[in-house]
Amino acid sequence: MSMTVNEVVSRFGDRRLHDDHDHDQEGMKILGFWIFLVSDCLLFASLFATFLVLRTHIAGGPSGKELFEMPGVTAETFALLTSSFTSGLAVMEMRRGNVKRLIGWLIVTALLGLVFVGLEIDEFVKMVSEGATIQHSAFLSAFFTLVGTHGCHVTLGLFWMTAIMFQLARYGINAVTQRKVFIACLYWHFLDVVWVFLFTVVYLMGVM
Amino acid sequence: MSSIKDFASHFFVTGDPLIYGSDVAIVLVSLAIIFVLTYFKKWGWLWREWLTTVDHKKIAIMYLIASLLMLLRGGIDAILMRIQLAFPNMHFLQSEHYNEIFTTHGTIMILFMAMPFMFALYNAVVPLQIGARDVAFPYLNAVSFWLFFFGALLLNISFVIGGSPNAGWTAYPPLSGLEFNPGPGENFYLLALSISGIGSLATGINFLVTILKMRAPGMKLMDMPLFTWSVLASCVIIIFAFPPLTVALALLLIDRLLGAHFFTMAAGGNPMMYINLFWIWGHPEVYIVLLPAFGVYSEVVSTFSKKKIFGYKSMVASMMIISVVSYFTWLHHFFTMGAGADVNTFFAIATMLIGIPTGVKIFNWIFTMFRGRIRLTQAMLWTIAFIPCFAIGGATGVMLAIAPADYQYHNSYFLIGHFHQALIGGVVFGYLAGLYYWWPKMFGFKLDERLGVWAFWFWQIGFYVCFMPQYALGFMGMTRRIYTYPDGLGWGSLNLVSTVGAFLMGVGFIIQVWQILYSIKYGERDVTGDPWDGRTLEWSIPSPAPLYNFAVIPHVKGMDAWWMMKQEMKEKPAQIKPIHMPKNSGIPFIMSVFFFIAGFGLTFHWFWMGGFGLLGVAVCMFIRSFDYDTDYYITVDEIKRAEAS
Ligand code: HEM
Ligand SMILES: [Cu+2]
């Protein structure tokens, strides 16, 4: 009958050795994720294009200048940029092999991400309560969709990071968890970069 | 009570005998399937061997079956349309029904027939051609398949539940917007395409990584078989083209479900935005499905001429050029919509430029055949038939690309003639050639030649009889998507001829179905694993390939690796080691069911059901994330036993 991986490892030593096509599975997943990020970039590019076409189509409703409150947005930006930094610290601790600190920095990252999402929801709620809804104008449709898509990405990242933290607590640092942390942090940095564009194109250009 | 009746009459499509007939057929077929599976106690087998499989060869077979069924469905749509148009003033279909049928025909043929047929070939061939045990991400591969499957299912049930989409396969707003199209039909379209689109993107990533990272030792990029090259080019386009489609569909869905204004004129929306995003995907999509067909032709021509392919490097270069330039042509789909002369000129020239690399490829195929020892097998027949057919399709394409002239025949039957010539003559012929070529490798027996030749001629004659008159009809002023036409315009006889052609192709298809059934019983078994005296690695292993593909991974020294090995008469080195394999998983299937539930709920604006489905998807992903026991080893003994048998 077939053997489980553990049996093979115990009988033949290191499993990588006997993986005779010797493809680095974890490395391939990282490459796959990079390619996924390329396609995600194109997704955001399409949304940005739509936003740029529609940003002046306010249909008599409020424009960005009237709606955006820069202090809140700046706080959001600050939280997210910091979280990107702390996720970098997490990866550094992982390289050092320190699980506790790795999890610690991931928790800090996730909390900052949570602050970001919270502030964004607060912003959205305020806008909606002022009557600036997605149904109001093409500009607002594009605004909520573009910013909301980014927000959904961040939220997804939070769930993902949480799942990884549990796995780290259970399995410690190994090839698989290492790859997972690496990919999640890559994703997190990517969202950061997208946010920088968002901040510039949507908010700064909006209030100018 | 009456409210239930009321609900049912909105929920189920009523009032058309054709649809009642389909209702009965669907119920009967479902009951038959359930009965057979229960009677023969096959549920466990179905689950273990197929629904949970992560084996790329089985996934290929499932894609193939699904796409042939969709070819049948799309073909029935086509025949119904052609019957309706055969005579002036026909009353065979109601006008709304006609709208739904041309919409589902176009959608199904491109997204649920051509795409899965292509993925069937990807899965059946690529890992074997590059000497790999599997694709890069076997689990993701299963996810892709089930997403496609349930996306297709979602579109297909619209026929009897809720009503089909009816705004054309392009679903342009404002016609497809809520205001002019309040029913669930367009929601079905948008959600079905979104769900299957995620799967397609994942397949693109999967095969790109597979090709880049899993080639057998020694196989350089410029040693890869041309089919693998064509898949690589096609995957690159998938990765770049599908995100804009996702966005276009999502925005239209947001308009329809949440009342946003991306594409409604009233609150500042802009329908042209949709049209641009759609065709940024839509034009490259044509090359996504076409390039693998080119890959098939290259393999077939080389094998059955017993020669190395002529101009290998120029073949590769032309495919890569096509994959880039196809990005700069999308606007030729709406020259007439007011972009202005300079923009039109840019896109007209870009479009015409594609003809150059395509021409290079055609000459290379011809030069490969020149002085070759040609064997006219079925695969070769389809390949040879493709060349003139595609040449005409290309010529009419260039005619359409002349922007000012396009004002004349835009949206006329000339266009219908052109793109069917490209899609059938280029894509379908190519996939059929691939089907005949790789069938023995997939199933272990050949398809009957005699029946195949009959089918071939029915298709060929039917094709020209059907589509040549359409060019003329276009010039005579007949527009596309027309439901009926009055007497006295002189369109009647040409339309009748065209319908006869469609029936001839239908007969060809039926013969092919018969050919498959007949060959399962009587087809010549392939005991050598190399029935065509092939040149590439897939022919170096038994047919059908064992679970692990290669007992020992080959070392490649150059192009046409298997041919070289055969020339050197090298025997295989014997040292077999345990093989690392991924475990089956039920999650891809279950997760896709939840996607289906979400899609179905959102179609009817039942947000609770949409939310429930998406929650299910999330839970599935979560569970999978915690699963660390995802692979196992096949022992040396087992491999030896399998190789000996
Ligand atoms: C096999 C024989 C086929 C026949 C007889 C056929 C026939 C037709 C007919 C009668 C129409 C409607 C024209 C109109 O009234 O506007 C149509 C439209 C279309 N067909 Fe086919 N077709 C065939 C195969 C295919 C294939 C293989 C594909 C794609 C791979 C395809 C893609 C389309 C598309 C995209 C449309 C346009 C639908 C729309 O206007 O929204 N067809 N076809
Ligand atoms: Cu095009």
The whole-angstrom separation of Cα A117 and Cα B88 is 62
Backbone angles phi, psi at B631, to 5 degrees: -145, 170
Strand partners, B580: B633
Q: What is the DSSP letter of B160?
A: T
- Digit-coded pLDDT (tens) for B158-215: 988 989 999 999 999 999 999 999 989 999 999 999 999 999 999 999 999 999 999 9
B352 in Cβ contact with B391 (< 8 Å):
no
Question: Could you read off the pLDDT of B299-332 as tens digits, one per residue?
Answer: 999 999 999 999 999 999 999 999 999 999 999 9
Say which residue the tokens 């309560």 belong to.
A129
Q: Report CA-CA distances (Å) from B70 to B65, B111, B637.
A: 9, 10, 42
CA of A162 to the centre of ligand 1 (A): 49
Using an 8 Å Cβ cutoff, are A67 and A132 in contact?
Answer: yes
A130 burial type by CB count under 10 A (0-12 exposed, 13-18 middle, 19+ buried): exposed
Q: Which-ligand-closest: CA of B335?
A: 2
Q: What is the mean pLDDT of residues B364-373?
A: 93
CB-CB under 8 Å, A3 with B632: yes
Ligand lying nearest the CA atom of residue B113: 1
- Rounded mean pLDDT, A19-30: 73
Copy the structure tokens of residue B348.
């007209």
Averaged pLDDT score across all residues of chain B: 93
CA distance A163 to chain B (A): 7
Cα–Cα distance between B573 and B630 in angstroms, integer?
Answer: 30
Structure token digits, residue B199: 């799967």
User: Rounded to an integer, what distance in angstroms lies between the CA atom of residue A59 and that of residue A54?
Assistant: 10
Average pLDDT over residues A22-35: 88
pLDDT 10s digits, B101-115: 999 999 999 999 999
Distance between A205 CA and the closest CA of chain B, angstroms: 19
All residues of chain B having their beta carbon less than 8 Å from the beta carbon of residue A18 are 577-578, 580, 633
Contact at 8 Å (CB) between B550 and B557? no
The neighbour count for residue B90, using CB atoms within 10 Å, is 15
Are residues B132 and B210 in contact, defined by beta-carbon separation less than 8 angstroms?
Answer: yes
pLDDT value of residue B8? 82
Task: Say how many Å lie between the CA of residue B87 and the centre of ligand 1.
Answer: 18
Q: Alpha-carbon distance B624 to B601, whole Å?
A: 25
Provide the pLDDT for residue B567.
84
Predicted ipTM?
0.93
The whole-angstrom separation of Cα B462 and Cα B459 is 5
- A7–B578 C-beta distance less than 8 A: no
For B133, which residue in chain A has the nearest alpha carbon? Answer: A21
Cis peptide bond prior to B357, omega within 30° of 0: no
- Residue A74 has which token pair? 């700046």
The rounded distance, in Å, linking the Cα atoms of B391 and B591 is 44
Percentage of chain B surpassing pLDDT 90?
A: 81
Of B127, B322, B151, the C-alpha closest to B214 is B127
| Burial (0-12, 13-18, 19+ Cβ within 10 Å), A111 | middle
Mean pLDDT on A49-68: 92
Q: Which of B223, B202, B197, B198 is nearest to B135 (CA)?
A: B202
Q: pLDDT class for A12, splitting at 50, 70, 90?
A: very low
Mean pLDDT of chain A: 89
CB B436 within 8 A of CB B375: no
Chain B residues with CB-CB distance to A20 below 8 A: 553, 577, 579-580
| Residue B644 burial (CB count, 10 A) | 6
Residues of chain A contacting residue B578, judged by C-beta atoms under 8 Å apart: 3, 8, 12, 18
SS (H, E, C) B572-583: CCCCCCCEEEEC
pLDDT at B572 (0 to 100): 59
- Phi, psi (degrees; rounded to nearest 5) at B161: -120, 120
**Other beta carbons less than 10 A from residue B321's beta carbon:** 18
Sequence-distant (6+) residues with CB within 8 A of B209 are: A28, A31, A32, A35, B136, B137
Helix (H) or strand (E) holding B32: helix B17-39
**Sequence-ordered list of residues with C-beta below 8 angstroms from that of B605, at least 6 positions apart, any chain:** B187, B257
Which of B141, B209, B281 has the most A C-beta neighbours within 10 Å, making it the best mutation to test the interface with A? B209
Least confident of A61-65, B1-5, B569-573: B569-573
Nearest CA in chain A to B236: A35
Omega into B544 within 30° of 0, i.e. cis?
yes
Nearest CB to B553 within list A21, A42, A180: A21
Distances, alpha carbon B15 to alpha carbons A143, B93, B94, in Å: 43, 12, 11
Shortest distance, CA B207 to any CA of chain A (angstroms): 10
Closest Cβ opposite residue A2 in set B239, B244, B634: B634
The closest alpha carbon to B379, from B223, B534, B541, belongs to B534
In this predicted structure, what is the pLDDT of residue A20?
Answer: 43
> Which atom number of ligand 1 is nearest to the Cα of residue B114?
30
Task: List CB contacts (< 8 A) between A15 and chain B.
Answer: 580
From the candidates A5, A12, A34, A150, which should be mutated to test the interface with B, based on the most B CB atoms within 10 A?
A5
For chain B, what is the radius of gyration of the CA atoms?
Answer: 25
**In chain B, residues 307-346 whose CB comes closer than 8 Å to chain A:** none
**Does the beta-carbon distance from A4 to B633 stay under 8 Å?**
yes
The burial class, CB within 10 Å (0-12 / 13-18 / 19+), for A125 is exposed
Q: Tell whether B40 lies on the interface with A, counting CB pairs under 8 A.
A: no
pLDDT at A9: 46
Separation of alpha carbons B608 and B588, rounded Å = 23
* pLDDT bucket at B574, cuts 50 / 70 / 90: low
Q: What is the dihedral of CA B189, B195, B199, B200, to 10 degrees?
A: 30
What local confidence, expressed as pLDDT, does residue A14 receive? 42
- Beta bridge mates, B634: B579
Find all residues with CB under 8 Å of B356, minimum gap 6, and list them. none
Phi, psi of B479 (to 5 degrees): -95, 160
**Position B262 pLDDT exceeds 60:** yes
Measured from the Cα of B466, ligand 1's closest atom is 5
Residues A80 and B130: their CA atoms lie apart, in Å, by 43
- According to the model, what pLDDT value does residue B289 have? 97
* CA B103 to ligand 1: nearest atom: 41
Per-residue pLDDT tens for B23-45? 888 888 889 999 998 999 889 99
What is the token pair recorded at B558?
């150059």
Which of B277, B580, B581, B615 is most worth mutating to test chain A (most A CB atoms within 10 A of its CB)?
A: B580
Please tell me the distance from the alpha carbon of residue B236 to that of residue B241, in angstroms, as a whole number.
9
Cα B606 to Cα B600: distance, rounded to the nearest angstrom: 8
**Number of other CB atoms surrounding residue B374 within 10 Å:** 16
B392's CB contacts (< 8 A; 6+ apart) are B421, B425
Task: Show Cβ contacts of residue B613 under 8 Å, excluding neighbours closer than 6 positions.
Answer: B594, B595, B596, B597, B598, B599, B600, B601
- Contact indicator for B298, B196 with CB cutoff of 8 Å: no
Q: Residues near ligand 1 with C-beta < 6 Å? A: B 75, 78, 81-82, 102-103, 105-106, 109-110, 114, 168-169, 416, 420, 423-424, 427-428, 466, 480-482, 502, 505
Token look-up 């299963």 returns: B142
Does the structure show a pLDDT above 60 at B257?
Answer: yes
CB contact under 8 A, B258 and A32: no
In whole angstroms, give the CA distance from residue B151 to residue B638: 38
| pLDDT band (50, 70, 90) for residue A18 | very low
Cβ within 8 Å of A, B 586-625: 618, 622, 625
- Identify which ligand lies nearest to the alpha carbon of B419: 1
Q: Which residues in A lie closer than 8 A to residue B267 (C-beta atoms)? A: 57, 59, 61, 135-138
Per-residue DSSP letters for chain A?
A: -PEEHHHHHHHHS-HHHH-TT---HHHHHHHHHHHHHHHHHHHHHHHHHHHHHHTT--TTS--HHHH--HHHHHHHHHHHHHHHHHHHHHHHHHHHT-HHHHHHHHHHHHHHHHHHHHHHHHHHHHHHHTT--TTT-HHHHHHHHHHHHHHHHHHHHHHHHHHHHHHHHHH-S-HHHHHHHHHHHHHHHHHHHHHHHHIIIIIIHHH-
Cβ–Cβ contacts within 10 Å for residue A168, how many? Answer: 22
